Structure 1
Amino acid sequence: MVRQILPISALLLGSALLLFAGGMNGLILPVRGTIEGFSASSLGLLGSGWAVGYVLGCLMMARLVGRVGHIRSFSVMAAFAAVAVLLSLLLLSPWAWVPLRAISGFCFAGAAMIVESWLGERAEPSTRGRIFGIYSMVNLGASTAGQMVLTLGDASGALFFVLPAIFYCLALVPTAISSSASPRPLVRVSLDMRALWRNSPVAVFAVFCVGISNSAFGTLSAVYASGVGLQLASVTLFASLPVLAGALSQIPIGMASDRTDRRMVLVGVAVLALATDLAFLLLRPEDRMINLGLAALFGAAIYAMYPVIIAHANDHAEEGSFIQVSGGLLMTFGLGSIAGPLAAGFGMARLGEPALFLTSAVAHLLIILFAVLRIAMRAPVVEEDKASFVSVPPGRVSTPETAVLAATAEEAEEEIAQAEQALAQELGSEETEEAPVAASPPAPETEETGAEMPKPVPPRDD
């Protein structure tokens, strides 16, 4: 294990420092905004701004890295993230915080894609799963530690704005001084949303609703906890315990989804989430332990849905289209993540703190109804045709590079070969024919650009 970690230790350290700073940054804004008297609707806009920036980062970062390289791009992302959090301290206004939060989301997506592509390059196919697992646990631990730091000081001062900026700057040091060669260019994903819907309507609809629920809770959980009278230490636990519970619940839920119809598992998890929504709405608990217990149960449900949905979509996808499916679901999740904090924020401003769970209850109820309808219309996928279940770090949207890093050995080799061939064709390289050839036939070229097109997703339905 040590021999596997040492070559990527600089990348893991850079990612850990980035996530540590991100954990502080993401939690201090709603906590400080509540202290400053910002409305719940304005704080909800922070989550929408983050989602917009994150999706744009996933779509645009490949072009930037292609122009200036991985190390320079990562340094730019870390620098702008530090600037954004410091400006949030200087400009204590929600109308300044929203665009600054969008910049943070863009930088976070870009930095994550760079680190993940680098790890994917350094990981051997035989150890790729273990590397992805280590990377996920490092990120989870660092993000949770960053949130817990808020219990050690006064949130009304400048400390928790300056500390994230320091750690954002420190995050660029390991990659800047690393002797590792830069990896291949980032994967560019061509999306076909109509084909993705034909591939799996349940996956597309459910991932949009999950985006609404998860982003609303991730953005406004601290506002809810403060509103019901919890102290700062308990507010931090209320935001971090669900993430930890979501990481643990993915193991048994993933095993269950591999053994039965994933749609049934999705319905069961959504029922658990809906029951927790209703408990918050009807009981309106003020006791610290009840709130923390319900929050952990809620996180165990909501953060396990996304990997089940990805696995279900890939059950129906054609071999070699893993990244196209993952990219399409990421885009759909991002759209839901824009809408969720907006709806929950305006609801909380008018109906009070429990409206946060009213928003997610509607989303979870829609998932249940639509999935049950599709189960009645289509038979499940046979077990031998199922794709492998891959855990996704809870609390963070995946990127196209996550799909490459988490892929199996065969999938990884094929995806890398296709990316190399597409890049060679785009640049008009004369060495295109010498590029590694995937096991499956190459995708057709367009008459206008000669660029490789994604393999068509068959019109199978769930």
Structure 2
Amino acid sequence: MVIAATTKVSLGGALKPVTALLIGTALLYLGYGLQTTLVPLRAEAEGFSQITIGLLGAAYYGGFVVGCLFAPYVIMRAGHIRAFAAMVSCVSAAALVFPLAVGEVQWLVFRFLVGACISIVLVIVESWLNEKSSAETRGAVMSTYIIITYGAITVGQLGVTTQPLDGFALFSLCSILLSVAAVPVALTRATQPAPIPSVQFRPGHLWHLAPAAFVGAFASGLMIGSVLSLSAVFAVGSGFTTGEAAVLASAVVLGGALGQYPFGRTSDYLDRRLVLLVSAGASVTLAIFLMAASAMSFTMVVSLGFAFGFVTLPSYSLAAAHAYDWTEPHDLVEVSAGMNLLFGAGSTVGPVMASVAMIVMGPSGLFLVAAIAAGGLGVFIGLRILVRRRPADAIRTDFDLYATAALGAVVPGEIEELVVSSDDSDDDDVAAEPATVDTAPAEADMKLETEKAD
């Protein structure tokens, strides 16, 4: 349970120490959003096979997972500012190399490197924001960061409509945005944070801690990774123009951004797994409708895409929040990293599965995969609700938009205090009880201090 802040700080005052970093982040995600939509559309125009286009999405998320593992070492070696400039420069260079070295293998390598660099940038930005925020300002700072991130990606994806798809101009625009993103960070006078620690990933521990969160992270990555990677290709294959494809991709991201808070706050009052079950069920329904997009008007498809993003993208946030409810404070960083890696693994598998389905069934195969993943998640969550009660209210943490968002879970915010209750000691997953910390060392120290006092 997060301690209530006793000092009121204005939003402007909270953001002042990190203004340069937030400006750089906004520019970075404008370029990232443009590249996310541009690469698959250009790959299709270049005649790449459907499976290769899917692998481009998988390569990005594979690089993202690797970047999460190596980020602490990069930051330790170069520091936050130089590491940020270096990684952004690599992504900017990659944007220019795509049109210069057109080829399936080359583009797979480039996307992998972009994913790794973006992941490291995420760790840099989020650890920096986390350290420069106090307990009173962290919520405002991190929520602003998430809003800027989703907003910039949405606008960046629409950049595809500004220039012809064939040619160098869109890749140049992408490189310009990414290059300029390094300027405010490189020129800031703010002191950089201390290096972040590396953590281990124990999938068995995470599975035993919260099976619903484990499956939820992987399944949400499978759905979100496949749709974000291939929604533009899906739209073109369904008979829409390149500009309309960009609008659909942006609508999905915008819907997901707006859906985060209402789903998250609702889960504060109900069993989070029940809210996740509703999210999964709604995702199945909307995915089935979207499978018939070629027979619908563009307005209807965009509306359905927005609704799909609204109910589907919060699924990771709900799974992460459920995991944190069962997590001891000293395990928070490890669990957060594990959830993020599971999401990345699902996002790596999803585009490959979806591309195969699109080869077999046509564009509708994308949302068939999403429907199957959401349906499987819903069934598993329903079974978990039957066999295990939700955690007691005393140990549940309030929904944190930053710590649970897929784009903000690399470095979690601190939990100031966790009140442990043993009311649910009869739960079936005894080992996952948050009250199982060994207190013997602390009790021994207390006894020793008492003896000294006597």
Query: What TM-score, normalized to structure 1?
Result: 0.86
Partner residue, 2:432: 460
User: Which sections of structure 2, spanning at least 5 residues, go unmatched?
Assistant: 1-10, 421-428, 435-454
Q: 1:105-139: per-residue Cα shift (whole Å, max 9, x none)?
A: 11111112112111112112210000001111111
Task: Assess if the C-alpha contact under 8 Å between 1:198 and 1:461 holds in 2.
Answer: no
> How many percent identity over aligned positions?
31
Q: Secondary structure in 2 aligned to 1:292? A: helix
Q: Which amino acid aligns with 1:337?
A: S
TM-score by length of 2: 0.87
Measured in 2, the distance between the counterparts of 1:384 and 1:30 equals 47
The offset of 1:210, in angstroms, is 1.0
Looking at structure 2, the residues matched to 47 and 344 of structure 1 have their Cα atoms a distance apart, in angstroms, of: 10
Which letter does structure 2 place at the counterpart of 1:126? E
Partner-residue secondary structure (3-state), 1:188: coil
Could you tell which deviates more after superposition, 282-291 or 141-150? 282-291
Equivalences for residues 185-264 of structure 1 within 5 A: 185-264=195-274
Q: 2:188 — aligned with what?
A: 178
What's the offset of the Cα at 1:369? Answer: 0.9
TM-superposition CA deviations, 1:373-426 (whole Å, max 9, x none): 11111122222321221225999544432x13xx34558xxxxxxxxxxxxxxx
CA distance in structure 1 between the aligned counterparts of 2:347 and 2:368, rounded to whole angstroms = 16
Alignment partner of 1:81 is 2:91: yes
CA displacement at 1:283 relative to structure 2? 6.4
Cα RMSD for the two superposed structures:
2.1
Query: Could you tell me whether the CA contact under 8 Å between 1:80 and 1:104 is conserved in 2?
Result: yes
Identify the residue that residue 8 of structure 1 maps to in structure 2.
18
For 1:171 and 1:148, how far apart are their aligned partners in 2? 19
- SS for the counterpart of 2:328 is coil
Cα distance, 1:395–1:136 mapped onto 2, change above 3 Å: closer
Q: CA deviation at 1:233?
A: 2.4
Q: Tell me which of 78, 85, 95 is aligned to 1:68.
A: 78
Contact kept? 1:199, 1:459, Cα under 8 Å: yes
Structure 1: distance between partners of 2:403 and 2:163 = 28
List alignment gaps of at least 5 residues for structure 1. Answer: 412-438, 441-456
Separation of aligned partners in 1, 2:168 and 2:112? 21
Equivalent AA in structure 1 for residue 432 of structure 2: R
Partners of 2:353 and 2:369 within 8 A in 1: yes
Q: 1:20 to 1:410 in 2, by over 3 A?
A: farther
State whether residues 78 and 168 of structure 1, in contact with CA within 8 Å, keep that contact through their aligned partners in structure 2: yes
SS, match of residue 195 in structure 2: coil
User: How far apart, in 2, do the equivalents of 1:2 and 1:358 lie?
Assistant: 45
1:263 counterpart letter in structure 2: R
- Aligned position for 1:165: 175
Q: Which residue of 2 aligns with 1:49?
A: 59
In structure 2, relative to structure 1, the CA distance for the partners of 1:461 and 1:227 (3 Å cut) is: farther
SS state at 1:20 partner: helix
Structure 1 161/176 Cα, relative in aligned 2: closer, same or farther at 3 Å? same
Q: How many residues align?
A: 416
CA distance in 2, matches of 1:199, 1:93: 44
**Paired letter, 1:380:** R
Tell me which amino acid in the other structure corresponds to 2:308.
Answer: F
| 1:237 CA displacement | 1.3
| Pairing partner for 1:127 from 120, 123, 137 | 137
Deviations 1:422-451 (A, max 9, x none): xxxxxxxxxxxxxxxxx99xxxxxxxxxxx
Question: Which residue of 2 is the match for residue 419 of structure 1?
Answer: none
Taking the aligned partners of 1:322 and 1:47, their CA distance within structure 2 comes to 29
Q: Which amino acid aligns with 2:117?
A: C
Following the alignment from structure 2 to structure 1, what is the Cα–Cα distance between the partners of residues 232 and 330? 41
The partner residue of 1:342 within 332, 352, 369 is 352
Letter of the 2:225 partner, please give it.
Answer: S
Q: Give the secondary-structure state (helix, strand or coil) at the position aligned to 2:329.
A: coil
**Are the aligned partners of 2:321 and 2:404 in contact in 1 as well (CA < 8 Å)?**
no
Q: Answer whether contact 1:317 1:458 (CA < 8 A) is retained.
A: no
Partner of 1:20: 30
Q: 3-state DSSP class of the match of 1:103?
A: helix
Give the C-alpha shift of residue 31 in structure 1.
1.3
Structure 2 vs 1, CA of residues 396 and 94 (structure 1 numbering), >3 Å: closer, same or farther? farther
- Residue 5 of structure 2 is matched in structure 1 by none
Please give the alpha-carbon distance, in whole angstroms, between the structure 1 residues aligned to 2:30 and 2:200.
Answer: 32
